[in-house]
Structure 1
Amino acid sequence: MKALTAHQPRVKRVLVIDVGGTSVKILASGQTESRSFRSGPKLTSRQMVSKVKKLAADWTYDVISIGYPGPVLGGRPAAEPANLGRGWLAFDFAQAFGLPAKVLNDAALQALGSYNGGKMLFLGLGTGLGTALVINGVVKPMELGHLPYMKGTYEDYVGRAGLERDGKKMWRRRVADVVERLRAALQPDDTVIGGGNVKKLNALPQRCRAGENANAFLGGFRLWASTDVLPSNPQRGGARSRRKS
């Protein structure tokens, strides 16, 4: 094997951790199948780290990307998650893993993996409403789900609680209305609807495309990419263009 030179930096091998309210999914560079374990309301940050280390014990990785289900400031969780245990606030994942780590809101991570260029709005339909913008390759996490809407907030009506309370038919109408409002306000070139509940839509709102939960892994790889995250042949509104990070 040819030795690396100063002009040939070694590609970082990334472990991506997608933390969710029901499961934690992981995938490392060079692997083709993700692995997972159940999370739930008792899972703490330290327990998550311990379980991930065991689950990925036979994988090789140099750096870590973490999708966190809540706001992130300064590279660390800024609030405890609604559907997990305690101990996540300001937790130092790099120290816990003993490797460089980057933490990003989970919606922002999936948005980065869904990005095909220009100004993209990402809306994640799940427990709440995950939101992010990606502008010229730079991801900007947002908390639009907390904005006032009707008698509550956007995520009160298009999140899981609204779906269970109002039923699929009304929920779908609310989703279409919320998407239209946010598109009108932000004027994106591209809109991606992702999250676990996107499959419950009969049809996507106009000028939108469906995202995939697996895009969180691609977003995690792109966080450590040494080159621009913009795919080489962007196809706005169509299938995403994948490439190695």
Structure 2
Amino acid sequence: MGTAVKKAASKPAKRTLAERILAIDVGGTGLKAAIIDAHGKMLTERLKVATPHPCPPELLVHTLVKLVEPLMQPLPATHISIGFPGVVRDNHVLTAPNLGNESWRNVPLAQMLSDQLGHHLPVRIINDAEMQGLAAIEGKGIEFVLTLGTGAGTALFRDGELMPHLELAHHPVNKNKTYDEYLGNAARDKTGNKRWNRRVEKVIGILSSLVNYDRLWIGGGNAANLKFDLPDNVKVVSNEAGIEGGARLWHPRSVRETRQLPPGAFE
């Protein structure tokens, strides 16, 4: 990690009344964006379009630029936060299982989007489940995030600090089916909502034994389809969290969170 990156990660961005963060939530099914303030409050409506399929990097950037154009007028954003469904390091996408992995190998998505928008804005990108978690977590103990959407995303926090990303979604959970295949939207469509709910309930028990979490947060579009009583330490996250968490990439709640800001932010 370079000197400039260390400086960006070691000191939270200065709060200003005029700050406008363009928060983007990239999903396998839909792309969402809104302008938020430093506290995660929405300053604009949330816009959404379908995710193209197939979706190589250039097409995703083009679609996002068209999506956010109305949000950038009359006042452009001052920062950009992106939640992305895959492995992200140093502002580069390493994997994109729900978008087509072959074209998503070490893609500098943050820089590409900043260049296309033409404002040379500072950008930070993080896994989408992690961005949802930043908006939801309480910052105490072991907190785990499970997102139920096109696939299944996960994130792990300890006392508010983001742990190294694990692609648990690609780990076998039942008869060689991965979490993505077992809980993803295609599985819900195929098996029906009742059977899918039983699967989610089973996975909650597995994660409890595996992670020993103090709190489990469930997000993603399919969280609205849960029909069973959740344990006391499990809570559904607002569907807005994927956007609101974008503020925490620039304004963490604590010194500990400041230390775990994703590397690779360019100023």
Instruction: Give the total of aligned pairs.
Output: 223
Deviations 1:119-161, CA, capped at 9 Å, x for gaps: 2111011111110012222223331121112222122111112
Instruction: Show the counterpart of 1:150.
Output: 174
Instruction: Show the counterpart of 1:216.
Output: 242
1:13 has 2:20 as partner: yes
Distance between the aligned counterparts of 1:87 and 1:49, measured in 2? 17
Alpha-carbon RMSD: 2.5
Instruction: Show the counterpart of 2:110.
Output: 93
Is residue 26–residue 85 contact of structure 2 (8 Å, CA) maintained in 1? yes
Greater CA deviation, 102-111 or 31-40? 31-40
Structure 1 segments unaligned to the other structure (5+ residues): 1-7, 231-245
| Counterpart residue identity of residue 132, structure 1 | A
Relative to the length of structure 2, the TM-score reads 0.75
Following superposition, the deviation at residue 209 of structure 1 comes to 0.6
Aligned ranges for residues 1-245 of structure 1 at < 5 Å? Answer: 9-11=14-16, 12-30=19-37, 31-43=43-55, 44-58=59-73, 59-83=75-99, 88-89=104-105, 90-94=107-111, 96-97=113-114, 98-118=120-140, 119-140=142-163, 141-151=165-175, 152-206=177-231, 207-225=233-251, 227-228=253-254
Distance between the aligned counterparts of 1:81 and 1:51, measured in 2? 24
Q: Is the partner of 2:121 in helix, strand or coil? A: coil
Deviations 1:57-109, CA, capped at 9 Å, x for gaps: 31432111001122212221112452479855412423541211111111111
Distance between the aligned counterparts of 2:131 and 2:91, measured in 1? 13
Structure 1 residues 57 and 14: alpha-carbon distance in aligned structure 2, compared to 1, 3 A threshold: closer
| Counterpart residue identity of residue 65, structure 1 | S
Distance between the aligned counterparts of 2:255 and 2:200, measured in 1? 29
Higher share in helix: 2
Q: Is the partner of 2:95 in helix, strand or coil? A: coil
| Counterpart residue identity of residue 60, structure 2 | S
Is residue 204–residue 210 contact of structure 1 (8 Å, CA) maintained in 2? no
Relative to the length of structure 1, the TM-score reads 0.81
Distance between the aligned counterparts of 2:147 and 2:103, measured in 1? 25
Following superposition, the deviation at residue 23 of structure 1 comes to 2.4
Following superposition, the deviation at residue 9 of structure 1 comes to 4.4
Is residue 135–residue 245 contact of structure 2 (8 Å, CA) maintained in 1? yes
Q: Is the partner of 1:56 in helix, strand or coil? A: helix
Is residue 112–residue 134 contact of structure 1 (8 Å, CA) maintained in 2? no
Is residue 114–residue 211 contact of structure 1 (8 Å, CA) maintained in 2? yes
| Counterpart residue identity of residue 94, structure 2 | A
Deviations 1:24-80, CA, capped at 9 Å, x for gaps: 211113414222233221442331343145232314321110011222122211124
Distance between the aligned counterparts of 2:162 and 2:196, measured in 1? 28
Structure 2 segments unaligned to the other structure (5+ residues): 1-12, 38-42, 115-119, 257-267
Is residue 35–residue 55 contact of structure 1 (8 Å, CA) maintained in 2? no
Distance between the aligned counterparts of 1:85 and 1:54, measured in 2? 27
